[in-house]
Amino acid sequence: MSTLLDLHGKHVLLGLTGGIACYKAADLTRELVKAGASVQVVMTESACRFITPVTMQALTGHPVYTDPWDARAGHNMAHIDLPRAADAILVAPASADFIARLAQGRADDLLALLCLARPQSHVDATRRVPLLLAPAMNREMWSHPATQRNVAQAAADGAIVLGPACGEQACGEVGEGRMLEADELRDELIAFFQPKLLAGRRVLVSAGPTFEPIDPVRGITNHSSGKMGFAIARAAQEAGADVTLVAGPVQLATPRHVRRIDVTSAQQMHDAVLPEAPAHDVFVATAAVADWRPARADGRKIKKDGSRKVPALELVENPDILATVARLPAGQRPWCVGFAAESHDLVKHARDKLVRKSVPLIVGNVGPATFGRDDNALVLVDAAGERELAPGPKLALARQLVREIAERIPAKR
């Protein structure tokens, strides 16, 4: 769940059409309100057979509109007034019938009417109300050529299609056509409103710890949770980037639309990052990579034998992933950002790392104070000096860092 008021100040017009997925609309409304949005619900007659306007009014605190002749709107023109007050229209669920009517430009109920009447960029460049559709229907209905044509036409006319997902359906069948879950739709809407500062860019992120095996059950690792790296991957994707995430052994959900490569050891992370780096514009090395690994991993668990003799553990140095990427030839080398998680003398060690690894930016934090937490405090270290970012949620800091990267990276040729 988002801990930020990411939708503060946004007015969302939430449209409901007929379908069993209407039950998810209650959770979706709660999530949007928790994220700071003001939500106005408009329902079709069919939607009212699945969930009541009373429920949606209780969740939003606003009266629900269902009738194009509703006299509460100024001049009896709800189809004009409602979309002009909105920052976005989200139809969830969007039924096959509703998408077909959109594609045909029909306006035979209030929701279809206001979608047709919403301000669009080709009419008024100074005011645009985006339309987002979350399809929900049986898998056969979704795959039908007519539905696919209608979805394509709605998208060509400017609608943004979110989903659908694949999985078990109310009818008992399994396939594509499920509406996205409430938290997924919330995050899609949040991402939509984020500035697309990295549009057209490719960003590679490493995150989490590594695990260096001593024997089949023991190993060398650290307390990194991967949360900062995953937040950066999400923030970069929100900013329009094509993101690849190379993740050590962590139990975190992959940010939406992010390609993930799972690894365990430092050598595996090195072998995953190096082939990817030349195809990316930016490399953000947040992973807490182990500096050393056992020279030899025992194939069987090392047992105590009663002699109190402690087995010798010979260590060898792991490859330096960030330094290796930073030394790639021009034209293959992405713009590199390193992380320094320190226990003391943060700025000194971060600056030493900046010089030693020849990268333009190091982001420092006190690791023991932030490992596993949802908040952080960062300091940016570059050739010009240091600047602290105020403590805050990791996702908020990740978005600040993405803005910094967007301002610093060379223009795309």
How many CB atoms within 10 Å of residue 320?
17
CA nearest neighbour of 132 among 84, 96, 99, 178? 99
Q: Would you name the residues annotated as active-site residues?
A: 171
Q: Which two tokens stand for residue 213?
A: 């095996």
| DSSP element (H, E) containing 116 | helix 110-117
d(CA 71, CA 93): 26
Cα angle 134, 140, 144; round to 5 = 80
- DSSP state for residue 204 in the 8-state scheme: E
d(CA 63, CA 272): 53
- DSSP state for residue 334 in the 8-state scheme: P
Cβ–Cβ < 8 Å for 353, 338: yes
Rounded to 10°, the helix 182-193/22-34 angle is 50
Cβ–Cβ < 8 Å for 378, 391: no
174-178 and 165-168 strand pairing:
antiparallel
CA nearest neighbour of 325 among 340, 338, 342? 338
d(CA 56, CA 59): 5
Cβ–Cβ < 8 Å for 246, 207: yes
3-state SS of 272-322 is HHHHHHHHCCEEEECCECCCEEECCCCCCCCCCCCCCCCCCCCEEECCCHH
257: Cβ contacts below 8 Å, ≥ 6 apart: 237, 243
- DSSP state for residue 333 in the 8-state scheme: P
CA nearest neighbour of 43 among 103, 96, 81, 94? 94
